[in-house]
A and B are shown apart, each in its own frame.
Chain A
Amino acid sequence: MEDKRQIVDNLVLELRRGTLVLSVLSQLVAPQYGYSLVESLETKGIHIDPGTLYPLLRRLEKQELLQSEWETSGPKPRKYYILSVLGKEVYQELCNEWLELNKSIMAIL
Chain B
Amino acid sequence: MAMRDRSGEMVDRYVYAVTRRLPVAQQADVDRELRSLIEDMLSAREDQGPDRTGEVEAVLIELGNPWELASNYRGKKRYLIGPDHYDLYEMIVKIVVGATGLGIIIALMVGYVFNPPETVFSTIGNFIGTVVSALFQAFAWVTIIFAIAERCNERNEANKQVAWKVSDLPEVPAHTKRFSKAESIAGIICLVIFFMILNAAPSLFTMGIYTGEVWIAPVFNPEVFKQVLVLFNITIALAICVEFVKLYFGQYSPKLAVVMISIKTVTFIISLYIIGASGIWNPALPAALETYFHLGADFVASFARFWNFFPTLLIILTILGYVVETITTVHRSFWGKVVR
Contact = CB atoms under 8 A, between A and B. Distances in A.
Interface of A: 33-36, 39, 49-52, 54-56, 58-59, 70, 76-79
B59 to A, nearest CB: 9
B69 A59 contact: no
Contacts of B87: none
Chain A interface main SS type: helix
B63 interface: yes
A56 to B, nearest CB: 8
Contact of B72 (A51, A76, A77): A51
Interface of B: 26, 29-30, 32-34, 36-37, 39-41, 44, 62-64, 68-69, 72-73, 75
A55 B72 contact: yes
Contacts of A59: 75
Contacts, number: 51
B181 to A, nearest CB: 37
Given A59-B75, A76-B39, A54 B33 contact: yes
B39 A50 contact: no
10 contacts: A39-B44, A49-B64, A50-B62, A51-B69, A54-B72, A58-B26, A58-B73, A59-B75, A76-B40, A79-B29
A50 B75 contact: no
Contacts of B62: 49-50
Given A78-B36, A79-B33, A50 B41 contact: yes
Contacts of B34: 54
